[in-house]
Chains A and B, each alone.
Chain A
């Protein structure tokens, strides 16, 4: 430290001589973690190392090679425990608002191996267990990692022949990229179209499908075909397009504050900042959490999601986003035919959704953006994919 301020600060508060006490942290946390059951959301779950009766040849190499003998094998106890976590109901009010209320239970007794796939990050094992509402919880773990990822999905009745997404997970500095999801019976085969126009087959095990991605393989679309080979549905498959983890995008320039809200969980601020590739960013900051979204705004972009107080005893739900310069007014419509005008400031908006509009029959349905003459510039459904 060479500058006077640094020297003085170091003198004022000398280094402390206490030692870390992680057990005390865990005791204070009292470890039950509320989680939200969503249509498509990943949880990271640490379980004890699993010993499987599977010997993997080091000569497998990288080739999205499927180890078929893994399929159908009963899941070991720690994996069952991890899958059982998917039953956690989380926050019923938020689930209801997000159209995610699920009464189902994970049928842990039926947990079994789905796939074992060699990926650039190591051998990825995927176990699955059905849920009582016809969905599927999967648990993935790569190599000898001590933690894995839980995902529970229940396809909505209007979700089409399949639901799926591309995802990216990091493990020990290595990245696992893949597409996965669930298909209905009418889908006999799946394929992945890459941005270069080539296609890759996607492995299906029952309703579950999966394909690992390798460097240079950029997904463009998931295609489902029926038994005759006809395309029954096609979904864009850019990373994170249906939930999961979005590739991080950060502001590229200074931010400035546009909104300050006083809420039940404390002060919320919203800042605007430029982003990469002609994107614009909005940053919503609560006391202990922050959401950064950077999008290219053609007409209307928005997020809807909960923000919690530090103790997680209370939460609010915000609708926030950006509009383009043609948009002069914005209205949020609800299931009960009510609607509310949302003020636009500097082509941005943030609105705290009243709790009465979290309930079935009163939830938000769509955002309508209008131009100076009252013409509709854009209208978008407000049906979130997840938190």
Chain B
């Protein structure tokens, strides 16, 4: 082992290195099996589940875009042409023929 009193030693500690190497070593003689396993995994097509999820994700994004566009169209249309309560309704409420709703009441206040 190197001198432990030299904290920033540039040289590898051969004894410690050999012990650690043995401690971390995979079972002897199975490197070939590991290489074959990696190559087989590399040859396999992409995970079918991931493919399915990716397709769903694409469809989901498309549906969300369509929904956003539809909502924008509806909101834009509503802002462009606000619904005014018909004048006839206001008069019917005042005459006591029809029960008031909030829109009619606010419209009548606005008229004043």
Q: Are these two chains actual partners, yes or no? A: no
Which positions in B face A, CB cutoff 8 Å?
Answer: none
Which positions in A face B, CB cutoff 8 Å?
Answer: none
